[in-house]
Amino acid sequence: MSTLKKRKLNGHTPSLGATAPRIKSSKTSPQATKPSKPNTKSLLTKKPVELESSEDVSEEDVDEEETGTIAKPSDEAPKKTFADLGVIESLCEACTNLGFRHPTPIQEQAIPLALDGRDLIGLAETGSGKTAAFILPMLMAVLEKPQAFFGLILAPTRELAYQIQQQTEALGSLINVKCAVLVGGMDMVPQQIALSKKPHIIVATPGRLLDHLENTKGFSLKYLKHLVLDEADRLLDLDFGPVLDKILKVLPREGRHTNLFSATMSSKVESLQRAALQNPVRVSISASSHQVVATLLQKYCFIPYKHKDIYLIHLLNDNIGHSVIIFTRTVNETGRISILLRTLGFGAIPLHGQLSQSARLGALAKFKSRSRDILVATDVAARGLDIPSVDLVVNLDLPPDSKTYVHRVGRTARAGKSGKAVSFVTQYDVELWLRIENALGKKVEEEVIPKDEVMVLAERVGEAQRTAVREMKELHEARGKKGALLNGRRRKRGRDDMDREEG
C-alpha cells in the first residue's frame, strides 16, 4: 500500500485511496380435534419481580429517551446533529445519505468520548444505533492517520460481520475507506487476497481472524490503532473466550484505543473489559438489561401444544403482506415450518447455522428485498441483524432465557418504528414464560384468538404437516448418503468450527 499522507480534518472530503467497491379456510372435518380451553389463571395472577435500574443511568437519560432510538424533540432544546458531536462534514453527509438525521442517545454520548481517545464501554439495547457509534470515530481516526490494518472490529456471527462491513463502507464511501471481512464458512484464499490489498479496517469473527494471524504470510496486527468488540456478551456466550485471549496477546497494548459494546454487562464481560481496556468510560442508556423499545407491542397466546401450527397459520393469515420473522428452537423445526408454510402458499425461507454461508446470505438478501415475506430462523437471526422493515416477530418456540427473548423481539420496532411481537405459550412453557415476564418487570398482555376461527384451518394444516414431515424425512435420508463427504469438510475446517452460532 502506498504511503498515505496525513491530512488535517478541515471539513473537506479527503480520500484514502481507490473506492472499495390467505389461505382459504376449509370446512372443519367432524373428526377435527378442538383444543380444550387453557387455564390462564396461573399466568395472570403471579406478579413479576421488579428490576432495579442500572446505576450507570441517570434519571435524565432514562426520561429523555428510554427506547434507544432516535431522540424525540423537546420544547427546551433542539435535537443535536452529528456535526455538533464533532463529526466532519463528509461523514455527516454520508449519515444524511443513509437517513441518519440525528444521533441516537448512545451515539450522542459515545461519539464525543471516542473522539477524545477514551476507551469506552457502551451498554445499549438492540436497535439503538451502536454500530455507527463506533464506526464514525474510527473513520475520523483513520482519516487523521491513515495506515493499513488501522482498525479491527470483532463480531460474534458472520451475518453481523457482513452487516458491519456494509455500514462501514456506506459511512466511509465519500472518503474511500477500504474494508475487508474475515469470516468462517468461506474460502480463505479470497480473504488472503483482500488482506494483501492492505485494507484500513478489518471486520472479523474471532476464529477465522486467528486462522489468518497464524497462517496468512505477511499478515500482522502489531500496528493496530483501534479495536472494537461488538456484542461482547454474545462473543463470550459462544465460548470465544480462549480465542479472544490469543488474539489480545498479539495486539499492541500501547497506543491502542478499544471500544466494547454489549447489551448486558455480565461477569464474563467485566473480565474481558479488564483484559482489553484501559481506564474505560462507561456509557449506558438502558434502564435495565432487559429493556425493550417503547414502540414495541408485546403479546402472548396461551394455546395447546398440539395446535401450534394451526394457530401460527391463523396468525399469518391475519398478517398477509407484512414482513414476519418466526423463531424456532431447532434447525429441524426451522426446516419443517418453512416447508409447511410454502406448501400452504406462503413465501417462507429458512435461516439456520447448518446452511452454507452463501445460502445464509442469500436468505437474508431475499428477506430484506421483500421477495420473501417470512423468515423462519433459529437464534442465528436473534442478534445484531438490522432489517428495518420487520413488522412482526413470532416466538413459535419460546427462547431458553430472557436475554434471548429481548434480542429476538428487538428485530422489529427498530429506529423509532412500531412493531409487534407475539409469543406462543403452551401448557409446557408456563414456568419459562413467567421467568421471562419477571425479567421484563411487567405482565405481557394476552392476545385471545377464538378457537373456532382457528380450527377451521385444521384439515388444510394437517395435510401440509404430513407433506412437511415426508419432505424432511427425504432430506435427512439424502444427507445420510453424503455424510462421509460432509464429515470430511467439517474436519478440514479446523478452528473455523469456532465461528458458529446457536442452531
Is there a single domain that holds both residue 72 and residue 101? yes
Least confident range of 22-36, 126-140, 477-491: 22-36
In a domain, 31, yes or no: no
Least confident range of 108-112, 168-172, 355-359: 355-359
Is there a single domain that holds both residue 205 and residue 327? no
In a domain, 5, yes or no: no
Is there a single domain that holds both residue 279 and residue 310? no
- Residue 481: is its pLDDT beyond 70? no
Is there a single domain that holds both residue 365 and residue 275? no
Question: Average pLDDT for residues 21-38, to the nearest whole number?
Answer: 44
Is there a single domain that holds both residue 244 and residue 300? no
Rg for the chain (alpha carbons), in Å? 24
- Residue 124: is its pLDDT beyond 70? yes
Is there a single domain that holds both residue 252 and residue 345? no
For residue 452, what are the domain limits? 292-483
Reported confidence tier of residue 402, pLDDT bands at 50, 70, 90: confident
pLDDT at position 15? 53
Is there a single domain that holds both residue 215 and residue 299? no
DSSP 383: S
- Residue 33: is its pLDDT beyond 70? no
pLDDT at position 269? 78
**Domain's final residue, options 250, 268, 284:** 284
Reported confidence tier of residue 500, pLDDT bands at 50, 70, 90: very low
pLDDT at position 267? 74
User: For 325-373, how does the pLDDT look when each residue is reduced to its tens digit (9 = 90+)?
Assistant: 999 999 999 999 999 999 999 999 999 888 888 888 899 889 988 899 9
Residue with the three cell numbers 500496528: 223
The CATH code of the domain that includes 168 is 3.40.50.300
- Residue 482: is its pLDDT beyond 90? no
pLDDT at position 381? 79
User: For 208-243, how does the pLDDT look when each residue is reduced to its tens digit (9 = 90+)?
Assistant: 999 999 999 989 999 999 999 998 888 887 778 889
Give, rounded to a whole angstrom, the gap between the first and last alpha carbons of the chain. 40
Angle value at C-alpha 405, between 133 and 292, nearest 5 degrees: 50
Alpha carbon 53 to its chain centroid, in Å, reads: 24
**Domain's final residue, options 262, 284, 306:** 284
User: For 412-453, how does the pLDDT look when each residue is reduced to its tens digit (9 = 90+)?
Assistant: 876 667 889 999 999 999 999 999 999 888 899 999 998 999
| Top-confidence residue, 233 or 484 | 233
In a domain, 207, yes or no: yes
| Top-confidence residue, 236 or 17 | 236
pLDDT at position 26? 45
Is there a single domain that holds both residue 272 and residue 394? no
The cell numbers describing 137, all together, are 470515530
- Which strand ranges, in their side-by-side order, compose the sheet holding 257-262? 179-182, 201-204, 151-154, 226-229, 257-262, 120-123, 281-284
Residue with the three cell numbers 407475539: 422
In a domain, 312, yes or no: yes
Least confident range of 151-165, 240-254, 411-425: 411-425
pLDDT at position 28? 41
C-alpha distances in Å from residue 453, one per residue of 32, 39, 123, 447: 13, 19, 44, 14
Please state, in angstroms and rounded to a whole number, the distance separating the CA atoms of residues 316 and 449: 13
User: For 279-317, how does the pLDDT look when each residue is reduced to its tens digit (9 = 90+)?
Assistant: 889 888 765 556 667 778 999 999 999 999 999 999 999
pLDDT at position 403? 81
In a domain, 37, yes or no: no
Question: Average pLDDT for residues 391-400, to the nearest whole number?
Answer: 94
Based on the structure, what is the number of domains in the chain? 2
Q: Which residues contact 334 (CB under 8 A, 6 or more apart)?
A: 328, 350, 351, 352, 376, 377, 378, 503
In a domain, 91, yes or no: yes
Is there a single domain that holds both residue 303 and residue 177? no
Residue with the three cell numbers 480463505: 188
DSSP 200: S
In a domain, 27, yes or no: no
Is there a single domain that holds both residue 256 and residue 367? no
Let me know: does 352 contact 334? Beta carbons within 8 Å: yes
Across the chain, mean pLDDT equals 80
pLDDT at position 120? 92
User: For 54-69, how does the pLDDT look when each residue is reduced to its tens digit (9 = 90+)?
Assistant: 334 333 333 333 333 3
pLDDT at position 489? 39
Q: Which residues contact 257 (CB under 8 A, 6 or more apart)?
A: 114, 117, 118, 119, 141, 225, 226, 227
Is there a single domain that holds both residue 239 and residue 310? no
In a domain, 3, yes or no: no
Is there a single domain that holds both residue 260 and residue 306? no
pLDDT at position 480? 61
